[in-house]
Amino acid sequence: MMVKVTDGMGNDEEVEIDAAKITGKELLKKLDITVFEAIIEKNNQIVSESEILTNADRVKVLNMIHGG
């Protein structure tokens, strides 16, 4: 499964995940991102971390910028 990971500032990365079907939470864990740091998009719709993602979906993870 190909996943686009972005910070919304032009730093986009295509990452291949070895899974045909995975929950959003499992995906974030594989990417070493917590559910508090990112938003998951499935086919241009924001979804929860319990959503099932498959190879047929267009998946994007928006990694939120934070700091002080």
Distance CA 15, CA 66 (A): 22
Between 13-17, 41-45, 64-68, the lowest mean confidence (pLDDT) is in 64-68
Distance between CA atoms of residues 8 and 27, nearest Å: 19
Q: What is the pTM of this model?
A: 0.88
Please report the domains of the chain, with CATH numbers, ordered by start residue. Answer: 2-63 (3.10.20.30)
The tens digit of pLDDT for each residue in 21-63 reads 999 999 999 999 999 999 999 999 999 999 999 999 999 999 9
**Separation CA 28–CA 26 (nearest Å):** 5
Q: What is the structure's pLDDT at 62?
A: 95
Q: State the pLDDT at residue 66.
A: 65
SS3 sequence, 27-45? Answer: HHHHCCCCCCCEEEEECCE
pLDDT number for residue 68: 58
The DSSP code for 56 is: T
Alpha helix segments (H runs only) across 1-68: 24-30
